[in-house]
Structure 1
Amino acid sequence: MLEDLRFGIVYLSLLSGICGLVFLHKLPGNKAKSILLLIWLSTATELVGKYFTIWTGLLNYYVFNLYILMSFSIYILLLKSLIKTRTHKNLASLLLVIFLVFYFINYFFIQNEFGQILTNSYTVGVLSIIILSFLYMFELFSSNLVLSYSKSVFFWFVLGILIFHVPFLPFMLSLKWFLIDYNPSIYGLIIFFLNLLMNFCFLVGFIWSEKKYNY
């Protein structure tokens, strides 16, 4: 059934992760390797999330809420390391603090009901990386690297996360606010398709990029 497609994202993530290991020689520093860390973190989250309820008898929301905290923190730190302008770096630091503070306030005082995804924290995290991603893109296309942007693994990674999160956020909020009806088949198809596009960007980045542009 179409809702089962969402579990296919594990294989997409595995493919990207394995490809990243194959081309590990193109990822010279911790900044580039953090991309691989994020991909494998996503893979592990999907695998553990799938079997968490079977293993523990608890809902797997705990797994995905922890993933929201870890992944968006790393996203913001990575984007901060990619942007060059001091003002933009300071904004990245501020957004990280806002995200972390809001995450715990939201967890303990707002969305503190048992068994639900922290959609408020996810929203703040997505908005933060959208802002920083567009700042990174603006700096990239305003620099002397504009002619070789496609040879950077960072460009393809940032493009991938934008392709996934920009359309998925309004879809998820529409479900939360009951603007559209939840349909497991449609949900599975959308999340699989967005993951397919995102992981395609990751694969292109690992294969097409050149080491000298990945510092």
Structure 2
Amino acid sequence: MTFFDSVTSLRIENLSLWIEIIAAIVGSIYFYKYKETYLKYFLIFLWYIAFNELLGRYLAEILGEYNLIIFNLYLLINFPFLFSIYRHFINNKLHRRIIFYFIYSYILIFIFNGIFFEDYEIELVTYPFIIGSSFLIISVIFYFIEVLNSEKILNITRNLLFWISVGVLLFNIGIIPWIITLEYFAESIDTVNVLSRALIIILNICYIIGFIWSHKMKESE
């Protein structure tokens, strides 16, 4: 990796950290819009992400310690939580049941992979990440199918969950091919890092737009 590439990577990494913090702040400002719904837990999730990133930076840059364990722990929390959001808001019983299986299948795969294949203290989760992302894409598609077949489609862009879903879908569709690439071409790790940070920026911009643009939500929505 050239010096220019290293500087670019650092700038994108810093920007992605700041955009995560900004998303949590904006989410706090507009909390009144969704505090009566299940998405109230989403704000806690965003602050956890921001804190986790800061802790990871501190461990790696100040203490010189491995920080992969806290990011892998985040992945154990991230997917089941996002699955739970879609299971809560989707009404179709079959889709809700499938997402229920997604949650427990992912957790079991994550644990099994950590016991037999990857050391989560020194290796970034790969196979469970790919599986979790695939499950999440399907969950988002379930949500969009339901919205397209309901009156919600009329004001969909003013719905916070819509913008969360757009960000989640773009991020996971974008990251899967590069995680697969990382698995087979270790030298591409810097490229993957830059791409993942760019996708994180897009993801959180979608969150911010949702917080600002959405109408106040009720639990029935």
TM-score over 0.5 (shorter chain) = yes
Q: 64-73 vs 27-36, which deviates more?
A: 27-36
Q: Tell me the amino acid that sits aligned with residue 2 of structure 1.
A: T
Question: Of residues 195, 211, 215 in structure 1, which corresponds to 2:216?
Answer: 211
1:198 equivalenced with 2:178 (yes/no): no
Displacement of 1:183 in angstroms is: 5.8
**1:123, 1:183 → 2: CA distance?**
16
Within 2, Cα distance between the matches of 1:56 and 1:123? 30
User: What is residue 2 of structure 1 aligned with on the other side?
Assistant: 8
The 1:86/1:168 distance shift into structure 2, 3 A limit, reads same
Q: 2:165 aligns with which of 158, 165, 186?
A: 158
Q: Which runs of 5+ in 1 are unaligned?
A: none
Of stretches 68-77 and 48-57 in structure 1, the one that deviates more from structure 2 is: 48-57
**Runs of 4+ residues deviating >3 angstroms:** 53-58, 186-189, 212-215
TM-score, structure 2 normalization: 0.89
Residue 166 and residue 26 in structure 1: after superposition, are their counterparts in 2 closer, same or farther (change >3 A)? same
Which of the pair has the greater relative contact order for Cα pairs under 8 Å at 6+ separation?
A: 1
| Aligned with residue 110 of structure 1, among 113, 117, 138 | 117
SS of residue in 2 equivalent to 1:59: coil
- In the TM superposition, 1:31-70 aligns within 5 A as 31-54=38-61, 57-70=64-77
Residues 2 and 188, structure 1, Cα contact 8 Å, conserved in 2? no
Question: Per the alignment, in what secondary structure is the counterpart of residue 123 of structure 2?
Answer: coil
Partners of 2:217 and 2:53 in 1: how far apart?
32
Task: Return the offset for 1:74.
Answer: 0.4
- Alpha-carbon distance, 1:37 to partner: 2.2
Deviation, 1:69, is 0.2
Report the Cα distance in structure 2 between the residues aligned to 1:188 and 1:175, rounded to whole angstroms: 10
| TM-score, with length taken from structure 1 | 0.91
8 Å contact kept, 1:152–1:209 = yes
Corresponding residue of 1:174: 181
Q: Which residue of 2 aligns with 1:125?
A: 132
Q: What value does the CA root-mean-square deviation take over the aligned residues?
A: 1.9
Alignment: residue pair count: 213
Q: Which moved more, 1:187-196 or 1:4-13?
A: 187-196
Query: How much does 1:13 deviate?
Result: 0.5
Q: Is the partner of 1:212 in helix, strand or coil?
A: coil
Stretch of structure 1 that moved more, 201-210 or 27-36: 27-36
CA distance in 1, matches of 2:193, 2:74: 19
- The one-letter amino acid paired with 2:207 is F
Verify: 1:19 aligned to 2:26, yes or no: yes
Q: Distance in 2 between matches of 1:47 and 1:152?
A: 30
Q: Mark the runs of 5 or more structure 2 residues left unpaired by the alignment.
A: 1-6
